[in-house]
Structure 1
Amino acid sequence: MARGELMKRLLASYGRDEEFRAVAEQIILEEEQKNNKVLARSLRKTLDNSSHRPATAPKMLAPLIHFPDAADDFVERVEPERNKHDIVLSEANVRVFLGLMREFRRGEDIRRRGLPVRSKLLFCGPPGCGKTLCAEVFAAEMGLPLFVVKIDRLISSYLGETAANVRKIFEFARKQPCALFFDEFDALARSRDDTSEHNELRRVVNSLLIFIDRLRPNGFLIAASNLDQSLDPAIWRRFDEVIWFDKPDRPMIERFVKFKFKNVEASFDPLEHAKALEGYSYAEIERVCISAIKSAIIERRKQVRENDFKRAIADETRRRSGTARLSKIS
């Protein structure tokens, strides 16, 4: 996010402690990313010290709320490593995300008129098409810390414990301005009509529906699923926005490949091979580009050759065919 915009948000949030701290955290993060370590440490020390004032002092910034020890295993904070330039979205999705950003920034004005602010997002689409990356970039653009839920640890074999674990996470999201990200959401919100699921998981879905309904986050709840057809039908209406991530079309492939080769010297035009990448996910295309670039590095060449790229595509095609066979077996 542009520094000017961050400073405006910082000043506009004065007096609203949690929002002020979230913006300040984003400014510190940007300084760290620019390798301004000394300034970043100084700013963080000042910010942390402001939360330890005596009770008689004027109310200052609220510190980031720590998860209770019992919930530490279920969530981790993720520092964004990429920005909006690392992702290629469809025009429709760009429009949706810009609308969400504007709405969030004018949230108080909207609420004063008795209207809700969209804050619960469901990302759907095949693997490797940018759902997780988009959550990371979106949180960074909004100046919000990103917390990722560890679904595998959240689900317990003990009766009633999973719902209790989920409750702790939603309690935290209610208090702390953040982007709370549930990846592989279908593992938790699977359809209650699925006869293969046991009664305990059905009870978890019932609890999850109630928690989502009651949540009024100071940031965003984001859930992502590769298996949207497996989600419980009642889940869909609990989300303010459903965003679909599809495999890239030809223009999006060209934009993505161009970005991956922007600082790489090549003896050919990689965009001439965009047609061969149609039907591939972003993750697969990225793997092709990286493989081709590494071939030149390994052979100590300054340029990536066309044969490097062709071999990388052939390797990815082989990999995909193996994946297809495995899916048929399973």
Structure 2
Amino acid sequence: MARGELVKKLLASYGHEEEFRAVVEQIISEEEKKNNRVLASSLRKTLDNIGTAARSATGLSRLVPFPDEANDFIQRMVPAHGPQDILLSPENTELFLGLIREFRQADRIRRHGFPVRSKLLFCGPPGTGKTLCAEVFANELGLPFFHVRLDSLISSYLGETATNIRKTFEFARRQPCVLFFDEFDAIARSREEAGEHSELRRVVNSLLIFIEQIQPGGFLIAATNLDGHLDPAVWRRFDEIVWFDAPDAAMVRKYLVHAFRNVRASFDPAGYADQLLGYSYADLERVCVQAMKVSVLGGNKAVSDKDFREAMRDARRRLTRKQKLEAQTGE
């Protein structure tokens, strides 16, 4: 992005903590790409100091120095989505509004001797918005969003995985944030499953203890597509279990209308809701984006019925292949 545009975005974000930080992160990234590492490093230190001063004054969570011992396992992600980018069921919308209200009045709740809900488990099939919801949730709370890198966390050396988990939880204890574990079943698999050796059982035992003991200043969120594989003891360690279901006909219709809210179309996208029933939100997004791309490539001023049907054919082909593969592998 041109420097002038970044400066304009920086000025426009004044007073909005997370937006401001996101733009500065972009500027730092641009300088790193230009190999201006001294300037990038200086900007990073300045940003952290600004965060400390600003958050101390406003009562928001400040960024603590990032520990070297957790650097390999945790990656900071700058939220790029807001509430306008996600559709939640009425049940989940009510739940998250309650969680936000609790977080913002946490001191009041604790003064009355009540705990604040801060450990959430997201369950549901792939593509139903679990990761996106965690990102939007962090953005709404004004908390930094950290993604746990399981590929680095899980070590091939006996004993190291439990140590890595401890370092990760220690970071979450000190840093008010949203700490997000995706594919949580990879480290919280049932200890009763055949073939699980003693080391993996020890990892799960350690994980259960860490979840039990931690009282994060922000939120610990774990997500899984395979809730049936989780150890039974995991469930009661979380304050809330949030279920993300595949969209029903009404939600598919709502999604299609939402997707084309700022795009000119010469047909009614919602009319295809019944044909797209059974698709995940990720599948629906792929169909809508592909239809828009086909329209652009065709030089059209509006997305046509033909463009959308072509995108649906592509999606059906892909899903059919995927289902055949799943049937062959037994997944």
What's 1:161 paired with? 160
For residues 306 and 51 of structure 1, do their structure 2 counterparts lie closer, same or farther at Cα, with a shift above 3 Å needed? Answer: closer
Q: Percent identity?
A: 55
What's 1:48 paired with? 49
What's 2:187 paired with? 188
Q: Deviations over 1:33-57 (max 9, x none)?
A: 689x99xx99x958715859xxxxx
CA distance in 2 between counterparts of 1:214 and 1:46 reads 32
Q: Deviations over 1:206-264 (max 9, x none)?
A: 00000000000000000000000000000000000000000111221122111211121
For residues 104 and 50 of structure 1, do their structure 2 counterparts lie closer, same or farther at Cα, with a shift above 3 Å needed? Answer: closer
Counterparts in 2 of 1:1-330, with a 5 A limit? 27-31=16-20, 45=46, 48=49, 64-330=63-329
What's 1:14 paired with? none
CA distance in 1 between counterparts of 2:185 and 2:139 reads 25
* CA drift at 1:200: 1.1
CA distance in 1 between counterparts of 2:134 and 2:75 reads 14
Moved more, 25-34 or 296-305: 25-34
For residues 329 and 249 of structure 1, do their structure 2 counterparts lie closer, same or farther at Cα, with a shift above 3 Å needed? Answer: same
* CA drift at 1:152: 1.3
For residues 267 and 171 of structure 1, do their structure 2 counterparts lie closer, same or farther at Cα, with a shift above 3 Å needed? Answer: same
For residues 217 and 33 of structure 1, do their structure 2 counterparts lie closer, same or farther at Cα, with a shift above 3 Å needed? Answer: closer
Amino acid at match of 2:265: A
CA distance in 2 between counterparts of 1:61 and 1:237 reads 29
- Decide whether the 8 Å contact of 1:163 with 1:208 is kept in 2: yes
Q: How many residues align?
A: 296
Normalization by structure 2: what TM-score?
Answer: 0.84
CA distance in 2 between counterparts of 1:327 and 1:293 reads 29
Amino acid at match of 1:82: H
SS of residue in 1 equivalent to 2:306: helix
Q: Provide structure 2 residue ranges, at least 5 long, that are not aligned to the other structure.
A: 1-12, 28-41, 54-58
* CA drift at 1:304: 1.1
Q: Deviations over 1:15-49 (max 9, x none)?
A: xxxxxxxxx999232246689x99xx99x958715
What's 2:56 paired with? none
CA distance in 2 between counterparts of 1:309 and 1:61 reads 45
CA distance in 2 between counterparts of 1:266 and 1:317 reads 22
- Decide whether the 8 Å contact of 2:178 with 2:218 is kept in 1: yes
